[in-house]
Structure 1
């Protein structure tokens, strides 16, 4: 009798627990929805993240350098070409320049080097202002190189999608999704183009914004081809195929040009490192023998 009661109690508790868990986990359950809403309400008041705190610190520092509207616009274009489009990226970049200049001035003052020379006193902080811009230029070139490498594959996929019956907008959206892992930078740009066109911008304007955001010459020529195709109503697939062939020819010519430049680039290394060693090996014994002869 005791064993039977124990089994019944166990089965009752198991059924109650299973029923409650199923009610909470079910997406259509009122109880589950209520519990999830209460959980979200408790999770809402979170502490600011470290990234947010850093932005709050860099915001007043970024106002130390006054910038003209033209310079601010040019800097914003550079940041977009490097892949930084948020408003706080501009403030962070200016703040980093200020911090580098202050750190350079602090190093000069702490070490006491060049206090009598204005070149060191003003040159090191100026170098701190220039270094972030140099790093930004390097990031722009690296991103443009990645976009340039993935453009040929994107054109081939776009031709396939257009020939399959998709419109140009749908083809760009599909190509952006397919290239999200292989070429994420180009995929992101195509996604932004589709967002602008969905927001109501004309296709030529969205494509010109794409060329401005990337700063790649191949993208600019592609945009010109697509704008002319849209204006005159010619075949998009044929225009993209011709442009893809010309793009591959340009890439081959560019690679041949880089290969031809290697011989010229090797001359300084040969003059600095190889020729002195050859002189020491060939003329060294003769010079030593001559010295011994003169000493005797």
Structure 2
């Protein structure tokens, strides 16, 4: 066998080992689930008529099984050098913004980076026929692409969430003003926003709901709202969280500060849109010069050019 064949065989063996590890994690999770169900059925009292029947356990989807297998595979790298190399502080911030900064989310992210990197290298070895140094460079490029692809996807998702947070912030301020105007306290307003008005502001409503749960479990209001103020890297949202904390700690009327904050935020966004429109008009001027001006010159000067050409042909 040649050296290339040995490389392909080694990587195939590595991929098979990774697949077996994921399958083993899936089998172990299913076995534990069956054991727990058998234990619960054994501990159930014999007089089933006297006790209400437990609700049936929902069947887990194939996607959830695959996520559990990837998480079981990624947990093997927790606390090691691979986690230190593949999980930078920037990646943790992106996971926090996407709501995946948990043990399971971190394990899934690590498992996906390793699996996609190995799959990309295997695909390159199977379909690329280059030799020598160029083959080594292609393999390293495929490995880097496979490692960075999950990070690019996570960054795009976090950027989408940040844009959605900026779009939901004015509505959050208006809802908070409305709830304060009908006599709710700050705690009651946050509970209502996180429970009953979550559909109006999906991202911020979910974050407020998580902050309310942390506050109910014993954390202070400042600790529970820390993630909301720091994760999305938005200065306006951070200022709103500081205002909420001040009102929660010292009390006082908050409708007028919220109204001023809402007006300032809308004025700032209006000026930002005007700036974007001004830049867009300059860019469109260049586009019109490159596309519309040649067509306009052709329409205006075309008949004169055709008449001049016909006159010159008649002279000949």
Same fold judged by TM-score > 0.5? yes
The secondary structure found in structure 2 opposite 1:179 is coil
TM-score (structure 1 length as normaliser): 0.71
53-62 or 178-187: bigger deviation: 53-62
Cα separation, 1, equivalents of 2:218 and 2:179: 23
Q: CA deviation at 1:121?
A: 2.2
Q: State which drifts further: 202-211 or 149-158.
A: 202-211
Indicate whether 1:66 and 2:82 are aligned: yes
What does 1:1-296 correspond to in 2, within 5 Å?
A: 34=51, 36-37=52-53, 40=55, 43=56, 49-59=61-71, 61-62=73-74, 63=76, 66-68=82-84, 71=87, 74-115=90-131, 116-117=133-134, 118-230=136-248, 233-266=251-284
Q: Is the 8 A contact 1:146 1:183 kept in 2?
A: no
**Pairwise CA distance, 1:138:** 1.1
The answer to whether the 8 Å contact 2:164/2:203 transfers is: yes
Distance (Å, rounded) in 2 between the aligned partners of 1:126 and 1:182: 40
C-alpha distance in structure 2 between counterparts of 1:49 and 1:268, whole Å? 53
**How much is the aligned-residue C-alpha RMSD, in angstroms?**
3.6
* Distance apart, 1:232 and its partner CA: 5.3
- Between Structure 1 and Structure 2, how many residues are aligned? 259
Q: What is the distance in 2 between the residues matched to 1:76 and 1:102? A: 23
What is the Cα deviation at residue 273 of structure 1?
Answer: 6.0
SS where residue 82 of structure 2 aligns? coil
Deviation at 1:146, TM superposition (A): 1.4
Deviation at 1:126, TM superposition (A): 0.6
CA contact (8 A) 1:180 1:187 kept: yes
Q: Secondary structure at the match of 2:153?
A: helix
Contact 1:179 1:186 in 2 (8 A): no
The alpha-carbon distance between structure 1 residues 230 and 171, as it changes in their structure 2 partners (threshold 3 A), is closer
Moved more, 246-255 or 55-64: 55-64
Instruction: Give 1:6's aligned residue.
Output: none
Once residues 219 and 171 of structure 1 are traced to their aligned partners in structure 2, the CA distance between those partners, rounded to angstroms, is 17
Deviation for aligned residue 1:190: 1.2
Preserved contact between residue 97 and residue 232 of structure 2 (Cα < 8 Å): yes
TM-score of the pair, normalised by structure 2: 0.67
Post-superposition offset of 1:112: 2.0
Greater shift after overlay, 84-93 or 60-69?
60-69
Shift of 1:192: 1.4
Answer with 1 or 2: which has the greater Rg: 1
Which string of whole-angstrom CA distances, capped at 9 and with x for unpartnered residues, describes residues 64-97 of structure 1? 6712299455433311212335422211112222
Q: What runs of 5+ residues in structure 2 fail to find an aligned partner? A: 1-46
